[in-house]
Amino acid sequence: MDESLRAVADPTRRAILRLVRDGELPAGEIAMHFPSISRPAVSQHLRVLTDAGLVDVRPQGNRRLYRWRREGLRDAAAFVDELWSDRLARLKAAAEREEWPERGRAARAHERSSKKERRR
């Protein structure tokens, strides 16, 4: 899980994952989406993603096709879900036992005018 989280910490790698999430793309086509990055640098990003188990690579002739591995982020997603579930449960518990502060001035003014109306 640590390796996959480190891999997706980089914005270029996240962009690569978005490119390959819907199907296979050759490395050269992936690199074309990053004109400010050298092809060797894109290849290094692809290697990090592959080593982290986030993409699969398949040779086809002299090309290498990359595609997203859905299960690659399963452990990381479960970890994040667990964190959020725990935090939300604690927030809910705190909100339920919290005594809410006195309502604002507008609400108090409305209550006073309602009382005056009832007295008439």
Confidence of residue 56 (pLDDT cuts 50, 70, 90): very high
| Ramachandran assignment for 76, one of left (phi > 0), alpha (psi -120 to 50 degrees), beta (any other) | alpha
What CATH number is given for 3-70 in this structure?
1.10.10.10
- pLDDT given at position 116: 64
pTM of this prediction?
Answer: 0.67
Query: pLDDT (tens digit, 9 = 90+) per residue, 72-114?
Result: 888 888 888 887 787 777 787 888 877 555 555 666 666 666 6
Flag whether pLDDT at 63 surpasses 70: yes
Q: Where are the domains of the chain?
A: 3-70, 73-118
Helix (H) or strand (E) holding 55: strand 55-60
Q: How far apart are CA 84 and CA 16, in angstroms?
A: 26
pLDDT digits (tens, 9 = 90+) for 6-41: 999 999 999 999 999 999 999 999 999 999 999 999
CA torsion, ordered 69, 72, 76, 77, to nearest 10 deg: 30
Asked if 7 contacts 49 with a C-beta cutoff of 8 angstroms, the reply is yes
